[in-house]
Amino acid sequence: MGVELLSNVQIVSHSVSTPLSSYVGKRIASPAPVFVSILRAGSIMVEGLLDLCPEASVGHIGLYRDYETLEPKEYLNSVDGNLSGKQVVLCDPMLATGGSAIYAINLLKSAGAKNIRFACILAAEYGIKQLNELHPDVSIFAAATDEHLDDHGYIVPGLGDAGDRIFDTIRKH
């Protein structure tokens, strides 16, 4: 998935000198991509992308879900305030209602981002529809999809809470 996510990264020629010779190689054009994690579970995806593109910068958007309204609540934003001209890959393992992704994309666009890709492991059809309606310019990359959400906004059959699974924690709802 990472290779596909980065398929549109610009590559430029670059002169390289070694003790034996010089040659023209290739490198990622400046500015390098920006990988943004929706905390906390998106961080595991960003780690994998950094293996493919260590030149990238990283930002974090901390959101939690209000269990009454199912709306995202922001508690952290460490994203560069000027994303103009940069490719941004937003990572969150689950796309359920679309609320967190939409909120984060709104933040990214307010910082000037125009080239945004959203990456997730599992998406519900409802979340895909919501994200496409509000941000049709954002490409969605999902490894798999499930059909519906339960009354609590969780993907069914789904995987449970991705953050809890990755970090071996349990939250009481």
The mean of the pLDDT values for the chain is: 88
Helix (H, G, I), strand (E, B) or coil at 8: coil
Q: Which two tokens stand for residue 79?
A: 């994203």
Query: Does some domain include residue 172?
Result: no
Query: Does some domain include residue 45?
Result: yes
What confidence category does residue 107 fall into, taking pLDDT thresholds of 50, 70 and 90? very high
Segment 80-109 shows an average pLDDT of 94
User: Any idea what the CATH number is for the domain that residue 128 is in?
Assistant: 3.40.50.2020
Cβ within 8 Å of residue 113, ≥6 positions away? 34, 83, 84, 86, 88
Global pTM value = 0.84
pLDDT for 134: 97
Segment 161-165 shows an average pLDDT of 56
Query: Does some domain include residue 26?
Result: yes
What's the CA gap between 40 and 72, in Å, rounded? 13
Query: Does some domain include residue 65?
Result: yes
Q: What is the pLDDT of residues 30-83, one digit of tens each?
A: 888 999 999 878 899 999 999 999 999 999 999 987 878 878 899 999 998 899
What's the CA gap between 8 and 90, in Å, rounded? 15
Cβ within 8 Å of residue 5, ≥6 positions away? 49, 89, 117, 119, 141
Please say whether the beta carbons of 94 and 42 come within 8 A: no
What confidence category does residue 168 fall into, taking pLDDT thresholds of 50, 70 and 90? low
Query: Does some domain include residue 156?
Result: yes
pLDDT greater at residue 64 or residue 159: 64
What is the number of domains present in the chain?
1
pLDDT of 5 > 80? The answer is yes
Read off the amino acid at residue 135.
Answer: H
Query: Does some domain include residue 59?
Result: yes
Q: Which two tokens stand for residue 81?
A: 């305030």
Measured between alpha carbons, how far is residue 83 from residues 19, 89, 110 in Å?
38, 12, 9
pLDDT for 86: 94
pLDDT greater at residue 8 or residue 107: 107
Domain enclosing residue 138, as ranges: 2-167
Query: Does some domain include residue 173?
Result: no
Burial class (CB in 10 A: 0-12, 13-18, 19+), 105: buried
Query: Does some domain include residue 17?
Result: yes
What confidence category does residue 170 fall into, taking pLDDT thresholds of 50, 70 and 90? low
- List the catalytic residues: 65, 69, 161, 164
